[in-house]
Amino acid sequence: MRAVIQRVTQASCTVDHIITGEIEHGLLIFIGIEETDTEDDMKWMAQKFVNLRIFSDENGLMNKSIQDVGGQILLISQFTLFAQTKKGNRPSFIRAARPDIAIPMYNSMSNYLSELLNKKIELGIFGADMKIDLRNDGPVTIVMNTRDKDNY
């Protein structure tokens, strides 16, 4: 499982001119799911999301988590995080999970994050042509991969 986490002052997802998810202060999380990802991977990453201390405290230092600041999450499925570009110029997405595996994992991530934060998680639409608008705060952008847990 791979994720790109962005601290934002606002973010929204639009599909066919309809807003499917929208947040103010919080995290925009793009998540890619691999065939071999497990529920343990999902829970590990979700815990990281809610506990990352990347929001500023009263001294301007990144010491607060999304829980501490009462922030929101917009969760977007993004299979292109598993793009392989080693051969040729056209990316291969062979490592990205098929929808029958990825959709339940994406839904589980949303539900688990909702439980951890005790609030609704805003979403995109899996597999749709989504338009994402955001105002990156900082900018703060973090990339995570469950296959490399020792570095996170």
How many angstroms from the chain centroid is the CA of residue 94? 20
In a domain, residue 54? The reply is: yes
**CA dihedral in degrees (10, 70, 78, 62; nearest 10)?**
90
Give the confidence band of 147 by pLDDT, cuts at 50, 70, 90. confident
* CATH number assigned to the domain comprising residue 19: 3.50.80.10
Give the domain extent around 56: 2-147
Residues 6+ apart with CB under 8 A from 88: none
Task: Output the CA–CA distances (angstroms, integers) from residue 111 to 4, 58, 117, 136, in the order listed.
Answer: 19, 31, 10, 25
In a domain, residue 104? The reply is: yes
In a domain, residue 46? The reply is: yes
pLDDT digits 0-9 by tens, 3-37: 999 999 999 999 999 999 999 999 999 999 999 99
In a domain, residue 152? The reply is: no
Give the confidence band of 152 by pLDDT, cuts at 50, 70, 90. low
Give the total number of structural domains in the chain. Answer: 1
- In percent, the amount of the chain with pLDDT more than 90 equals 82
Catalytic residue chosen out of the listed positions 9, 36, 38, 80: 80
Give the confidence band of 135 by pLDDT, cuts at 50, 70, 90. very high
Give the confidence band of 150 by pLDDT, cuts at 50, 70, 90. confident
Task: Output the CA–CA distances (angstroms, integers) from residue 92 to 57, 116, 125, in the order listed.
Answer: 42, 34, 22
Annotated catalytic residue 85:
no
pLDDT digits 0-9 by tens, 66-115: 999 999 999 999 998 888 888 888 888 888 889 999 999 999 999 999 99
How many angstroms from the chain centroid is the CA of residue 123? 10
